[in-house]
């Protein structure tokens, strides 16, 4: 395996890494209003690089939030067209004090680059752009037609891109999508992701008294919204991880026995996973399901934080007027977000304790999806990956949500190839997020070979 | 009723109010490290004023935290000695956006002064000092021997004063204590508080994974400490307000039937209280007990806030590594704090869900107490109050905790006269805390007459 594009990539690797670092220095945190300009700067930086390497029709697509980045190159007559997707926005970096190096000062240690967004998803976006640059630089053209669409709201629900895709614009016409926002199942093991969980992200607000009250004076008469919230949450999920909302599991499509068999043959040790990745005393979740089933193919419910009340050091004896919980549920094929939210909302209103008012707000949602594996793009991908990594590709699912994959299928009829190069211990959404530099390099080579294979 | 001291107080009321405002401008928030200097400034301000009006042996008593303020005047030979207690520290003012005027810019509206600490306890402390000043200015001496001891850690558990009192220093030798940190049962109704709930204030920390994790990747396998915390809290108290910790109620001493009868004759309407003070859809608490019983004579449990995780705007799909709840319990006579904490801690450890570690920390505690009413000081107080307010005194309890009252009894054998002038709707510990200016004025006069009565 060697092409002139891969030669170019290898020679330019130090510069590619510098460009990744520059992008990682921009704190493009999509959920925080104060980082709005940073999101725009990240978008503009990517757009400028796409234009520099020879992509055409480059522009920012504006909406109410952070812009989309678009560019194309459509001169490969008779060849397929790929829509390349990635996102330039990142999660907030807190808790800051657990980072070994600052989240927006990318730092190389032990063959990894550490920064918020290193693997999710700036490192992978840069790999895509640098694959295009290498192909363009080596051959003066691309092997297939390429459209690039990057978004800046993936971490906050991806509303802008969902609306844009749903409008079926002419410039998204393609034969398939390439999505690089996933990971290898294990180091050195080429992987394609073929299933994603959906989700609903909600806020559950409970209001009691009209104002904060002294817990000595009013304790025993005034409702405590945190206690009520805890009582509600305790009724949402039992201690074995089963969601208690009536009807929630109805219509769920379980994995096939073939898929379950394939998962059982993956190199995965639950005890090793507990120790190395989770680090908790024991793992939790529904009995009778493996960790891979529980995280890939079962719905789950998590609480992310409970703002309100007194959270400072020491003691404040207050009964807060209100309390909020950030609650999300991961969904699997057959569980539709809108229906899951209605069931959840109705159940919360029904089980809310006396004395308090509850309000359930939907913040974002996304469909679960399974992508087809019997198409020439997946076959080209497995050939390319075998060349670069020297191994057969494994097909996995991800417990995360990439709502765009479902949108591209539903609105544009595009099958997605989810080819990503993260690792399971890359600390996505957590302190010390990293991207392995070898995976960055081989990721670029894999993407080059994949586009060459599709075009051959 | 009129004495030259009362005449002096009336003539100097505008100045007294200005001095109260000056003290209220100092943000002496004892729980926040950044306000340490403000606490010291409040202490020094009070000390200077005590020295100015003629009190002797004035000094700050230093400890690891905020200083105590001490001064005395011991020249009333053959007369009793009172130990006057109050506190100069205040609760944090948050939530700031609910204040109609800034918490540390005292503002007069509708006959009230609004500020953090207005009634709890700076307004009452200033009333004590101004009563002493008026007596001293009018007669050149005090009618009884007086020791003053103010603390700056009441809102954070009162550790310094508890240790100081427990050491039984010679300069606290007295016959009784005067504590002004309570309220009138209703406007215009003179009130002595004769019972207080105790409390334990705790932090309950739950730890799951070793680091924050992505809820898509790990949801279904990694323990969620917020969900576990909610499950634990839901097991601490049922939806009727009954604490579920086994043995918790053992040894509890209920109020006598005479006391319950007296409470039933107080002017109190539960529906009016719900609407005017609490403002919740309905009141909560144990069935079969009146609001006064529930808030004065039944143990209760409240959650004040649940720090940790993601509390910003929008969505962050994180499984936090840890979550904390600030949990306090109010205790009643017969329920000893140390025992209550042990039962609580043991129960929490027992019911903690699988996969997480729990740590239960005691932040502060105080004994419940009942003060004797058959002594000359209480009789003198009721005479003084009748003169000033024109009505018979009612005896009530408070749901709050003033740990010093128990300490003074236990270590120094001092009965306390809890004579305070707040009102039930003064928003203690809440936004828009206030003190009625008429009560400030009549409070000073009541304290003057009380000391005169004891000395007569």
The predicted-structure confidence for B287-307, as pLDDT tens digits, reads as follows: 999 999 999 999 999 999 999
| pLDDT tens digit sequence for A398-418 | 999 888 998 999 899 999 999
User: Measuring CA to CA, which residue among B425, B34, B215, B36 is closest to residue A312?
Assistant: B34
> Does the distance separating the beta carbons of B302 and A315 come in below 8 Å?
no
Determine which of B217, B229, B243, B403 to mutate to test the interface with A (most A C-beta atoms within 10 Å): B217
Query: Where a domain ends, among A366, A393, A412?
Result: A366
Which CATH number fits the domain that encloses residue A159? 3.40.630.10
The Cα-based distances of B279 to A215, A308, B96 in angstroms read 15, 18, 20
Of the candidates A211, A279, A302, the beta carbon closest to that of B431 is on: A211
The whole-number average pLDDT for the span B248-255 is: 96
The answer as to whether A275 is a domain residue is no
- Same domain flag for B178 and B241: no
Q: Closest by alpha carbon to A355, among A234, A205, A215, A224?
A: A224
**If pLDDT is split at 50, 70 and 90, which confidence band does B374 have?**
confident
Nearest to B221 among A230, A294, A357 (CB): A294
| Kind of pairing between the strands at A145-151 and B198-207 | unpaired
- Report residue B271: phi and psi, to 5°: -70, -40
Query: What token pair was written down for A436?
Result: 């392995």
Looking at the structure, tell me whether residues B224 and B79 fall in a common domain.
no
In a domain, A298, yes or no: yes
Residues A231 and A379 in one domain: no
- Please check whether residues A164 and A306 belong to one and the same domain: no
Buried b vs exposed e over B423-448: b needs ≥16 C-beta within 10 Å?
bbebbbbbbbbbbbbebbbbbbbbbb
Alpha-carbon distance of A205 to B354, in angstroms, equals 27
CA B149 distance to own-chain centroid: 16
Question: Residue A217 and residue B424: Cβ atoms within 8 Å?
Answer: yes
Contact B318 A304 (CB under 8 A): yes
Please check the confidence at residue B271 and state whether its pLDDT lies above 50. Answer: yes
* A318 domain residue, yes or no: yes
Of the pLDDT bands very low, low, confident and very high (cuts 50, 70, 90), residue B406 is confident
CA distances from A280 to A98, A400, B354 (A): 17, 20, 10
pLDDT of A1 over the 50 cut:
no
Give the pLDDT mean for B89-102: 95
B122 part of a folded domain: yes
Are the beta carbons of A237 and B227 closer than 8 angstroms? yes
Residue B1, pLDDT score = 47
Q: How far apart are the first and last CA of chain B?
A: 15
Pair B234, B377 in one domain: no
Distance from the A156 Cα atom to the nearest Cα atom in chain B, whole angstroms: 6
Dihedral pair phi/psi, residue A307, rounded to 5°: -65, 155
Min CA distance, A72 vs chain B (Å)?
31
Instruction: Please state which of the ranges A1-5, A45-49, A106-110, A206-210 shows the lowest mean pLDDT.
Output: A1-5
- pLDDT tops 60 at residue B405: yes
Other beta carbons within 10 Å of A352? 19
Under an 8 A CB cutoff, do A311 and B310 touch? no
Say yes or no: A129 and A43 in one domain. Answer: yes
Do B120 and B33 lie in a common domain? yes
**Residue A351 domain-assigned (yes or no):** yes
Structure tokens at A58: 């480059």
In the block, which residue shows the tokens 């974002």? A364
Cβ-defined contact of B220 to A310 (cutoff 8 Å) = no
B221 and A291: CB-CB below 8 Å? yes
| CA of B30 vs chain A CAs: smallest distance (Å) | 9
User: Which is nearest to A145 in space by CA: A84, A73, A78, A86?
Assistant: A73
Q: Which of B208, B277, B308 sits opposite A280 (nearest CB)?
A: B208
A192 & A74 share domain: yes
In this structure, are A103 and A9 located in the same domain? yes
Q: Which residues on B lie below 8 Å from A222 (Cβ)?
A: 278, 280, 283-284
Q: What is the pLDDT of residues A208-222, one digit of tens each?
A: 999 999 999 999 999
d(CA B442, CA B389): 8
Residue A399 domain flag: yes
The single residue listed with the structure tokens 């995965």 is A268
Percentage of chain B lying above the pLDDT 90 cut: 90
Are residue B320 and residue B423 in the same domain, yes or no? no
Q: How many domains does chain A have?
A: 2
pLDDT for B184-200, tens place per residue? 999 999 999 999 999 99
- Structural domain range at position A218: 198-259+293-366
Nearest to A312 among B31, B303, B314 (CB): B31
End-to-end CA distance of chain A: 14
In chain A, the residue whose alpha carbon lies closest to the alpha carbon of B294 is: A220
**CB B214 to CB A400 under 8 A?**
yes
Residue at which a domain ends, from B364, B380, B403 = B364
Q: What's the pLDDT at B373?
A: 85
- Chain B residue with Cα closest to A307: B311
3-state SS, chain A, equals CCCHHHHHHHHCHHHHHHHHHHHHCCCCECCCHHHHHHHHHHHHHHHHHHHHCCCEEEEEECCCCCCEEEEEECCCCCCCEEEEEEECCECCCCCHHHCCCCCCCCEEECCEEECCCHHHHHHHHHHHHHHHHHHHHHHCCCCCEEEEEEECCHHHCCHHHHHHHHCCCHHHCCCEEEECCCECCCCCCCEEEEEECEEEEEEEEEECCCCCEEHHHHCCCCCCHHHHHHHHHHCCECCCCCECCCCCCCCCCCCCHHHHHHHHCCCCCHHHHHHHHHCCCCCCCCCCCCHHHHHHCCCEEEEEEEEEECCCCCCCCEECCEEEEEEEEEECCCCCHHHHHHHHHHHHHHHCCCCCEEEEEEEEEECCEECCCCCHHHHHHHHHHHHHHCCCCEEEEECCCCHHHHHHHHHHCCCEEECCCECCCCCCCCCCCEEEHHHHHHHHHHHHHHHHHHHC
A134–chain B nearest CA distance, Å: 32
The sign of the dihedral angle between the CA atoms of B260, B263, B264, B270 is: negative
For B216, name the nearest residue in chain A, comparing CA atoms only: A400
Answer whether residue A285 is part of any domain.
no
Residue range A342-378, pLDDT digits in tens: 999 999 999 999 999 999 999 988 889 998 888 999 9
Count other Cβ atoms within 10 Å, centred on residue B21: 18
Tokens of A330: 């991961």
* Contact call for A210 and B280, based on CB within 8 A: yes
Q: Which residue bears the tokens 């909020």? A: A324
Q: Which of A230, A293, A361, A402 to mutate to test the interface with B (most CBs of B within 10 A)?
A: A230
Chain B residues in contact with A284 by the CB 8 A cut-off are: 221-224, 353-355
Looking at every residue in chain B, the average pLDDT score rounds to 95
Q: Is residue A19 part of a domain?
A: yes
A148 near A386, Cβ under 8 Å? no
d(CA A360, CA A346): 9
Of the residues B324, B343, B364, which one is the last residue of a structural domain? B364
Of B217, B218, B295, the CB nearest to A220: B295
**Does the pLDDT of residue B8 top 60, yes or no?**
yes
pLDDT one-digit tens code per residue, A287-330 = 999 999 999 999 999 999 999 999 998 888 999 999 999 999 99
Residue A171, token pair as written in the block: 């410039």
At A120-179, the pLDDT tens digits run 999 999 999 999 999 999 999 999 999 999 999 998 878 899 999 999 999 999 999 999
Spatial separation of the C-alpha atoms in residues A408 and A417, rounded to whole Å: 11
Contact flag A156-B208 (C-beta cutoff 8 Å) = no
CB contact under 8 A, A32 and B94: no
Cβ–Cβ < 8 Å for A89, A155 = yes
Q: Is the pLDDT of residue A2 over 60?
A: no
Residue A287 has phi, psi (to 5 degrees) of: -65, 145
A37 and A136, same domain (yes or no): yes
Please, which pLDDT band fits residue A15 given cuts at 50, 70 and 90? Answer: very high
Q: Test B218 with A278 for CB contact under 8 angstroms.
A: yes
The verdict on a CB contact (< 8 Å) between B309 and A319 is no
Query: Which DSSP string corresponds to B380-397?
Result: HHHHHHHHHHSSPPEEEE
* Average pLDDT for B240-244: 94
What phi and psi values does residue B402 have, to the nearest 5 degrees? Answer: -130, 85
Tell me whether the omega of the peptide bond preceding residue A121 falls within 30 degrees of 0, making it cis.
yes
d(CA B3, CA B142): 13
Residues 6+ apart with CB under 8 A from B106: B20, B21, B24, B25, B113, B114, B115, B118
Signed CA dihedral, B12, B18, B21, B22: sign only: negative
Statement to judge: residues B192 and B220 lie in one domain: no
Min Cα distance B170 → chain A (Å) is: 31
Q: Please, are residues B155 and B91 in contact by the beta-carbon 8 Å criterion?
A: yes
């Amino acid at each position: 395996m060697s092409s002139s594009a891969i030669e170019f990539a290898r020679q330019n690797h130090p510069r590619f890494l510098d460009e990744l670092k520059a992008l990682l220095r921009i704190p493009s945190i999509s959920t925080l209003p104060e980082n709005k300009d940073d999101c725009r700067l990240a978008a503009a930086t990517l757009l400028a690089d796409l234009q520099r390497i020879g992509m055409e029709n480059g522009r920012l697509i504006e909406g109410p939030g952070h812009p989309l980045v678009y560019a194309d190159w459509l001169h490969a007559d008779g060849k397929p067209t790929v829509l390349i997707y990635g996102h330039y926005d990142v999660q907030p970096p807190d808790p800051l004090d657990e980072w070994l190096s600052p989240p927006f000062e990318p730092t190389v240690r032990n063959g990894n680059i550490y920064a918020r967004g290193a693997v999710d998803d700036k490192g992978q976006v840069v790999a895509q752009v640098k694959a295009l640059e290498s192909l363009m630089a080596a051959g003066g053209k691309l092997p297939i037609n390429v459209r690039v669409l990057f978004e800046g709201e993936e971490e906050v629900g991806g509303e802008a891109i969902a609306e844009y895709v749903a409008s079926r614009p002419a410039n998204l016409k393609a034969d398939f999508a390439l999505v690089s926002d996933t990971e290898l199942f294990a180091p050195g093991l080429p992987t394609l992701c073929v299933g994603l969980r959906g989700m609903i992200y909600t806020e559950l607000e409970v209001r009691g008294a009209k104002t904060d009250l002294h817990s000595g004076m009013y304790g025993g008469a005034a409702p405590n919204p945190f206690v009520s919230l805890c009582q509600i949450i305790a009724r949402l999920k039992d201690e074995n991880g089963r969601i208690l909302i009536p009807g929630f599991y109805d219509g769920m499509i379980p994995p096939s026995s073939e898929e379950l068999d394939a998962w059982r043959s993956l190199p995965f040790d639950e005890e090793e996973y507990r120790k190395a990745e989770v680090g908790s005393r024991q793992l939790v979740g529904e009995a009778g399901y493996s960790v891979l089933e529980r995280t890939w193919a079962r719905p789950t419910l998590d609480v992310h934080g409970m703002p309100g009340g007194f959270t400072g050091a020491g003691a404040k004896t207050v009964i807060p007027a209100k309390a909020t919980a950030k609650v999300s549920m991961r969904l699997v094929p057959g569980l539709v977000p809108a229906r899951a939210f209605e069931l959840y909302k109705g159940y919360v209103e029904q089980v809310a304790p006396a004395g308090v008012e509850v309000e359930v707000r939907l913040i974002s949602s996304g469909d679960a999806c399974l992508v087809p594996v019997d198409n020439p793009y997946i076959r080209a991908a497995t050939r390319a990956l075998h060349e670069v990594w020297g191994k057969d590709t494994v097909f996995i699912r991800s417990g995360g949500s990439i709502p765009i994959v479902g949108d591209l299928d539903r609105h544009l009829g595009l099958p997605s190839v989810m080819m990503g190069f993260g690792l399971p211990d890359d600390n996505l959404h957590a302190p010390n997020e990293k991207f392995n530099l070898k995976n960055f390099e081989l990721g670029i080579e894999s993407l080059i070979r994949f586009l060459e294979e599709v075009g051959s």
